[in-house]
Amino acid sequence: MRESIEVSAILVTYNSRPVLDGCLRSLQAQEGIRLEILVVDNASGDGTADWIAGKFPEIRLWRNPENIGFARACNQGMRAARGEILLFVNPDLRFPDSDAVARLAASLRADRSLGAVGPALYEEGGSRQPSTARAYPNERWTRGALGILPGELAALLGACLALRSATASRVGGFDEDFFLYGEDQDLCLRLRRLGLRLACLTEVRAVHIGRHSEEGTNPRAYWQKKLAGEYLFYRKHYPARALRWIRISQWVKSSWELFLLGLVWPIAGRTSAWKERWGKYGAIRAAAAGRREVGLKKGMLSFGHWQPAALGGARE
């Protein structure tokens, strides 16, 4: 009789070929657990799907004709999974230890109050990465509107997250309104609202590269995507008054940062660090104003041309 699958590892790929080999090999090297690997490819343009089919024919592979977004692709894999436990893994992550997945699964079996667990994340050089959050973004502005939720952790980083299949079905999987970014904290909040805790197993290690699919993307475009997920999270879970104050505070802070960067530019020049910060705070100010683009002209700040609707200004 064929033994049942214990863990289904689900990966969503998008132009992930450069980092994928290490991830898949580390999953295949896992011991003490019956594991299947499912890959949902979101129309990669770098041959990721063909490479997987040729090099790892045993892996269950889905090819989407277009990029349907991370959350929706995760749910696609979830519906096809056969394991008692679902392990969502980013393709730029690998496990250095062969018992990592078994430990994550064991923790979920041992404690039914746990909704999801994750490992401690590390850079390739060995330094620790943020693996958890103890509060949601700008949660202070909600003034307790989220209520009292179980556990000390607010969210686990979605780079690696494990939960029981039954729990995933109960919570409804990932919210497909999120295309990329924000879906992990949304899922964690909904798990906590079911009365379940989150845990980071610090004894389980994972190496995470991060932002590999954003390579070549200009800073503003990256922050626009990230902020789109963040503001969607606010609209879904925060009261309107909190969102108004978030917009105001973010607009003021980012405007000040842009002003300072404008002063520094003639002296220091447009270094890569300057461009990163200019793109970041330009995107933050645009999002706070409820716009996709800030419309800043080259080499200058356009203060006074607009202000957030929350401050009484009109949107251009």
Q: Are 118 and 162 in contact (CB under 8 A)?
A: yes
pLDDT of residue 2: 52
pLDDT of residue 216: 56
pLDDT of residue 31: 98
Nearest-CA neighbor of 307 among 254, 269, 263? 254
Give the tens place of pLDDT for each residue, 239-252: 999 999 999 999 99
Supply the pTM of this predicted model.
0.88
| CA–CA dist 208, 6 (Å, integer) | 24
Give the tens place of pLDDT for each residue, 271-281: 888 989 999 99
pLDDT of residue 18: 94
For 192-206, what is the HEC assignment?
Answer: HHCCCEEEEEEEEEE
For the chain, what are the domain ranges?
Answer: 7-214, 219-303
Give the tens place of pLDDT for each residue, 47-68: 999 999 999 999 999 999 999 9
Instruction: Give exposure, 167-187, as e/b (b: 16+ Cβ within 10 Å).
Output: bbeebebbbbbbbbbbbbbbb
Torsion of CA 103, 108, 113, 119, to 10 degrees: 50
Tell me which fold the domain 7-214 belongs to: Spore Coat Polysaccharide Biosynthesis Protein SpsA; Chain A (3.90.550)
Q: Per-residue pLDDT for the chain (316 aa), expressed as one digit of tens each?
A: 457 999 999 999 999 999 999 999 999 999 999 999 999 999 999 999 999 999 999 999 999 999 999 999 999 999 999 999 999 999 999 999 999 999 999 999 999 999 999 999 999 999 999 999 999 999 999 999 999 999 999 999 999 999 999 999 999 999 999 999 999 999 999 999 999 999 999 999 999 997 655 555 688 899 999 999 999 999 999 999 999 999 999 999 999 999 999 998 777 778 888 989 999 999 999 999 986 533 333 333 333 333 444 444 433 3
Nearest-CA neighbor of 229 among 290, 294, 185, 277? 185
pLDDT of residue 156: 98
